[in-house]
Amino acid sequence: MRSKIRVKICGITNKQDMDAIIKYDAYYAGLMFFEKSPRFVETKLARQLSLHAGDKIKKVAVAVNPDTRFLDEIVENVPLDFIQLHGEETPERVKEIKLKYQLPVIKAIGISEAKDLKLVSIFSEVSDQLLIDAKPPKSSILPGGNGLSFDWNLIKNIEFDCPWLLAGGLNSKNAVNAIDLTGATQLDLSSGVERSPGVKDENKIASFMSSI
């Protein structure tokens, strides 16, 4: 594994999978708080997983257009290192959440064509990190985690003004190409290391981590 590459594995739903991603040196664990996702975890389970992991990995709460009451419950009960916003949150909402919870915020941005990149500069000013993902199909109920890539050439010459993660259809077969083409130093994936939605595969995790 290239020492400078940090990996976020999202959609952790059980202690066995948490142990596996820690074993293979993932840097972040994503806990999904979006009820329509097959990787959804309730607050009680998320707390158990976070406490189980301790300080061995950075815990990221992934939420979609969350209201303040919802975030209050998560932050008060689950030890976290980051909040990831994966909906249609505005820059003002990002700033509000950062101020209220005093946690760094990762803002996800869906990309399918060049015009989508205007959001990169807008959210770079208010976010601690960006997650650059494939824009979901209009028919999808999920804002991410669809296992789809976008045209990485769209971002290969971009100078990002804040740290960022590349997401969307990553797996052990395309990760190196993604890194070489985009210059990404952080990768985010979920389905690429799963046996089924919400259930990770330790062999796929090992293969992915050794591929980079």
Active-site residues: which are they? 10, 133
- Residue whose tokens read 């976290």: 80
3-class secondary structure, 31: strand
Alpha-carbon span 71 to 88, nearest angstrom: 16
Strand boundaries in the chain, DSSP class E: 6-10, 28-32, 58-63, 82-85, 105-111, 129-134, 164-167, 186-189, 194-196, 199-200
Euclidean distance between CA atoms 121 and 163, whole angstroms: 12
Q: Which positions ≥6 away from 111 have C-beta within 8 Å?
A: 117, 132, 133, 134, 135, 150, 154, 155
Q: Of 20, 104, 105, 108, which Cα lies nearest the Cα of 57?
A: 20
How many Å separate Cα 141 from the centre of its chain?
17
